Amino acid sequence: MNKTPNRGRTAQNDPEIYLDHAATSFPKPKGVIKEVAWALEVLTSPGRGHSRGALQAAATLESARNKAARFFGVADPTRLVFTKSATESLNVVLKGFLKRGDRVVTTSMEHNAVARPLSRLAATRDVQVIRVPCSADGSLDGDAFRRALDPPPSLAVLVHASNVNGALVAGSEVLALCRAHGVPVLLDAAQTAGLLPIDVTEHDLGMLACSGHKGLLGPPGVGLLYIRPDVQVEPLIEGGTGSRSEEWVQPRHMPDCFESGTPNVPGIAGVCAGLEHLASIGGDAVGARELDLARYAAENLEGIPGVRVYRPAVRGGNAVSFTVKGMSPVDVAMILAASGIAVRAGLHCAPWAHQTLGTYPEGTVRLSPGWCTTQADVDAALRAVDALILRRRRRIRGREKTS
């Protein structure tokens, strides 16, 4: 990739350039939109009737489950559960697996979807939370992590890659350490599912949580949760499952144990279509290109005077965080939005990570390319950042002349 993009103003009437894929993928592939619309028009409630719509809904649900299982290397598709979000998937495990007095190891780069449940469990169940520090670039302190595994804790809950700066936190070596110590891992793959290859069997993951609307290109409202056969998790929500309705207690068999209530079949159908789209365009190549664009953005942002980039030692996600000297991240994001560049600013629901990077409490500006981002899109963002800094300097010089 060319590392010296041409810079200039972004026209106000240009179409918006979306660079917030770490929040959600946009736009969705046309096949995803079509599949969701079809499901809304045709499908009813699976497992709760024998009508054509109900039977088609059940078939759609199982087809999506089988496809997602193959995508993540899950041998038994019934071990893959659909939830409403990665956040719910994480909560299901943390609140259904950890018992009073348990020890859990985590990192200082975790999202609030992990930090907040652990804080509650520490207060209500006396769960001992061991938060292993990461360095200022987001990489995990390997020695501290080894010490935290002795004696082996009940669980390690680890973010695969940071949603703030894209740092790879739980790489293969970290997962191997947990495996060697017999510690089950709950991997938060919200930022990496669809971006990096993930095989639960290869890494012997205890549990995997991810969302369907980011790298998997589906609509919002669907999460995925894998639970290894030997891992016992109590359900967070109980109710109607369409199975064993004569029993007054929650079914224990998978996946029904964790799928109470009417599932979001249109959303699940959309995730299935997203997986099909990834397969059709070469998912691994798309993920690699996203990471290349993130590196390209970080390298060129560093070349703009007044910009500080919080680059990871090893990149595993598409998030690029930066700040502009003398400006709040929110102001920068608002100016970029006015220039037609969609980014995100603040703490990104990850205050632990920002404390680690030294960007708390204001946070950073986060730019994150996605499946349809081009180098021209990133170049436009670079021009817009360059232009806003130039305008600010001119205003400062103007004030100095009049003072």
Q: If 0-12 CB within 10 Å is exposed, 13-18 middle and 19+ buried, where does residue 100 land?
A: exposed
**Side chain identity at 228, as an amino acid letter?**
R
> Of 364, 381, 357, which is closest to residue 323 (Cα–Cα)?
364
Taking the C-alpha atoms of residue 326 and residue 384, their distance in angstroms, rounded to an integer, is 17
The owner of tokens 């199975």 is 243
> Of 176, 291, 61, 150, which is closest to residue 158 (Cα–Cα)?
176
**DSSP state for residue 200 in the 8-state scheme:** T
Are 161 and 167 in contact by the 8 Å Cβ rule? The answer is yes
Taking the C-alpha atoms of residue 240 and residue 124, their distance in angstroms, rounded to an integer, is 28
Are 226 and 72 in contact by the 8 Å Cβ rule? The answer is yes
Taking the C-alpha atoms of residue 274 and residue 32, their distance in angstroms, rounded to an integer, is 6
The size of the chain, in residues, is 403
Are 316 and 192 in contact by the 8 Å Cβ rule? The answer is yes
The owner of tokens 């010089």 is 397
Q: Of residues 134, 178, 272, 349, which has the active-site annotation?
A: 349
Taking the C-alpha atoms of residue 44 and residue 266, their distance in angstroms, rounded to an integer, is 9
Q: Does 349 participate in catalysis according to the annotation?
A: yes
Are 107 and 169 in contact by the 8 Å Cβ rule? The answer is yes
DSSP result, 36-56: HHHHHHH---TTS--SHHHHH
- Which residues are marked as active site? 349
